[in-house]
Structure 1
């Protein structure tokens, strides 16, 4: 398999830039999280004064403290006054991005893909620190497969990744390096390129703009033969209808208010079919006004310490007069549409997961997930429902519901501890105190 980055470069840069370590546990080591309020991922009331017992990387038991016996020699994590919940899952993010204000200028500054070996480990650390223990990258060069492997080996700190590699499209996106996109002109070519990506080792297929119904069907046929899910970048009604006819697995971006309100029959069809919807509503519509009201969020000591000095300075330069950036040209209209649009899928009881489109302009990996969840609550989801969407539902959409997404016996120990009660205020998810991934407590320096 062709690679664009060597594992050695990734390892050296990852360790040098990130400065991390984890408390590794062996398969026979017990860890217990005690005293906190447990939200187990199901849309049910929390368990107070809970205990979560972990052996190695597997949850052995989770429930009221008086029902669980803690073995002698167990490592204890005191969660009193805090909330324990499953690790968050982001079903739409971009590990190559860091929130720069302009895509064209960003790719020019990093010389296409030359500096991705620096940037992807930064983004991965920011995500994990924010409580994201699993994520789907929807659009990167195939070099992201090296990053995924390095994370799996423990050489880079980050969430466990599912990746699409380049997207398949009929419309070439200017300003983005060619290695991000595969431009096709027929269903036959679409199927061939989908098989190529699968052969390279991608986990999902991403479809972008301009594709026909026959293109969709051709890719879905190949992907499903290989047990691979297809995610489609969608806004317009006709494209969504075609995606449903072709049995696309995941609808990405629908409901993010680029469009006027959707027809009721379309909403009903999506809800009835249980086709997963990932709305990504915050990335312009909530992030932009939040930045207008608090531009200080664009420059923090943590952001500065996360990256090389020149990259940080370029990031700050890109934020000058951010309200004039082309990315936000139509945002005031989108915000007005959002008062109806973003609520439609929620009110229709569609099968909704959570994705952020991080790190699009101003939408940083460090806070994109809680802002997206907050925007969904603003749009009508309860706090309990949105937490379930970002954990249990997202794991199901990934096809990993038997491993991830809930805190219960038999699941992998992906758990976060939050300093606050997100059922009272979903914004408390920005105060992540402890991240446990695969049974290991992550320590950020």
Structure 2
């Protein structure tokens, strides 16, 4: 036993020497996320987003109740699927009953979902709802300057995601104020689509990743002078703090940063975001991932190169990963490789991305589902989402575990695990009904028949649902 203990100690010492970041981990440089909830009694209703603003009790809640009967429930908690009845009042799930229990409101609308699977709505943690389409190069388009065109692109993509069973998206950079407008209208039930958690503009340095989107033809001479830009250019810690404050002032749920940057810049941005109660995700690679971890980010996008020590620190500190295998697979298959990018100066192919995913899985890094479907790639839905789920099984997840990553875990990464991601009493009623058993065969997700978002029916028979207009009487003559 003493010899075994001695060997174990030597191995641990060797590991720490090989991975100095582990030995020298003194915690993040930025402050932790400010917890607003500690100042509010649980009886105070809060907005259904990361901001947690006090609101009236019936804020954005539809009237009435409904039940889903006869179905097979995959609740997203990790439990096996089972027969169950789900009861919803307003925007929240109030009960999950046994299949023979009929203890629901007498006036509830009853949906018979016999032979179908009821499950939490899927989540896409990496969207750019307003990203320029291939058609936006037309001489008749000023898509990078026009908020109206941005909104139309976003609205269409919201519909595509909803039809694929996605009831929440994390928009990690879109144009101008468009994502905030779409978020507000969706939450109020005025437009159909997934609920939106938005970062506003992506923040990077001059020449950093995505900076070219702030310097397109027709833009003002100073990139930040275009109010419809999806990117904010910042130089120095003070400007990175100010860029964070600008997104917060617009109503951002989170902050999205991208390399390249200095250590002082990313630490300042994370510190400012956390002081305002917002999590931070970052698009970075190699040494910039080390800087992001040192600063104290909350999640890291993409399966890009990083050291074993960085992966271990991510797991130790609870820094999540959104690997987004799909876009790199699309790029590799359509272009033969990832070419022409100064922020992608390393080998990147279908093998490397899966190997990075396996490495993070083995280390215990929390991972959620994000697709990063830009230009015309949303047309690949729902196949793209299914492909991402299949990627998770290739790196070691079971089918059921991959669906939990797509629902419960992804909600936790958004800092919404107390409201979304599972079908349990008290959670928001973001529910989809699938014709088949997706926990056994992902292909069933090609047949999402019904979707509720916040208790509102938004997809019926696989089509976007919009209730008929109700006439309001004109005022009487006095």
TM-score normalised by L of structure 2: 0.73
Q: Distance in 1 between matches of 2:260 and 2:139?
A: 23
Question: Root-mean-square deviation (CA), in Å?
Answer: 2.8
Q: Distance in 2 between matches of 1:99 and 1:425?
A: 32
1:18-76 per-residue CA deviation (whole Å, 9 max, x = no partner) reads xxxxxx9954x3311112211111112111x2111111221111143134523433322
Question: Which residue is equivalent to 1:334?
Answer: 349
Q: 1:390 to 1:108 in 2, by over 3 A?
A: farther
Whether the 8 Å contact between 1:44 and 1:384 is mirrored in structure 2 is: no
SS at match of 1:76: strand
From 326, 337, 342, give the equivalent of 1:282: 326
Q: 1:266 to 1:130 in 2, by over 3 A?
A: same
Which consecutive residues of structure 1, in runs of 5 or more, have no partner in the other structure? 1-23, 293-321
Q: 1:228 to 1:332 in 2, by over 3 A?
A: closer
**Is 1:441 aligned with 2:473?**
no
**Is 1:270 aligned with 2:291?**
no
1:251-300 per-residue CA deviation (whole Å, 9 max, x = no partner) reads 111x2xx43xx433322221122111111111231x468xx7xxxxxxxx
SS at match of 1:428: helix
From 144, 148, 170, give the equivalent of 1:112: 144
1:191-217 per-residue CA deviation (whole Å, 9 max, x = no partner) reads 122112212222211101211111111
Whether the 8 Å contact between 1:61 and 1:68 is mirrored in structure 2 is: no
Tell me which moved more, 172-181 or 121-130.
Answer: 172-181
Q: Distance in 2 between matches of 1:107 and 1:133?
A: 35
Q: 1:392 to 1:71 in 2, by over 3 A?
A: same
1:343-368 per-residue CA deviation (whole Å, 9 max, x = no partner) reads 22122221111111123553547323
**Is 1:230 aligned with 2:230?**
no
Question: Which residue is equivalent to 2:196?
Answer: 161
Deviation at 1:246, TM superposition (A): 0.6
From 65, 69, 85, give the equivalent of 1:30: 65
Whether the 8 Å contact between 2:131 and 2:174 is mirrored in structure 1 is: no
Q: How does 1:42-121 map to 2 (within 5 A)?
A: 42-47=77-82, 49-67=83-101, 69-97=103-131, 100=134, 105=137, 109-114=141-146, 115-121=149-155
1:274-328 per-residue CA deviation (whole Å, 9 max, x = no partner) reads 111111111231x468xx7xxxxxxxxxxxxxxxxxxxxxxxxxxxxx5479779
Deviation at 1:413, TM superposition (A): 0.8
Q: Distance in 1 between matches of 2:154 and 2:354?
A: 34
Question: Which residue is equivalent to 1:218?
Answer: 268
TM-score normalised by L of structure 1: 0.78
Q: Rg larger in 1 or in 2? A: 2
Deviation at 1:218, TM superposition (A): 0.4
Question: Which residue is equivalent to 2:36?
Answer: none
Q: Distance in 2 between matches of 1:80 and 1:437?
A: 21
From 151, 156, 174, give the equivalent of 2:212: 174
Whether the 8 Å contact between 2:157 and 2:378 is mirrored in structure 1 is: no
Question: Which residue is equivalent to 1:41?
Answer: 76
Whether the 8 Å contact between 2:131 and 2:374 is mirrored in structure 1 is: yes
Deviation at 1:227, TM superposition (A): 0.5
SS at match of 1:174: helix
SS at match of 1:66: coil
**Is 1:410 aligned with 2:426?**
yes
Q: Distance in 2 between matches of 1:117 and 1:54?
A: 31
Q: How does 1:287-302 map to 2 (within 5 A)?
A: 287=330
Whether the 8 Å contact between 2:325 and 2:371 is mirrored in structure 1 is: yes
Q: Distance in 2 between matches of 1:218 and 1:161?
A: 26
Q: How does 1:258-407 map to 2 (within 5 A)?
A: 258-259=304-305, 262-285=306-329, 287=330, 322-323=334-335, 334-360=349-375, 362-364=377-379, 366-367=381-382, 368-407=384-423
Whether the 8 Å contact between 2:126 and 2:171 is mirrored in structure 1 is: yes
Which consecutive residues of structure 2, in runs of 5 or more, have no partner in the other structure? 1-59, 217-222, 224-228, 465-478
From 133, 148, 151, give the equivalent of 2:167: 133
Deviation at 1:79, TM superposition (A): 1.6
Q: Distance in 2 between matches of 1:108 and 1:235?
A: 37
Question: Which residue is equivalent to 1:302?
Answer: none
Whether the 8 Å contact between 1:123 and 1:365 is mirrored in structure 2 is: no
Q: 1:185 to 1:392 in 2, by over 3 A?
A: same
Question: Which residue is equivalent to 2:243?
Answer: 193
Structure with higher RCO (Cα < 8 A, 6+ apart): 1
How many residues were matched structurally? 380
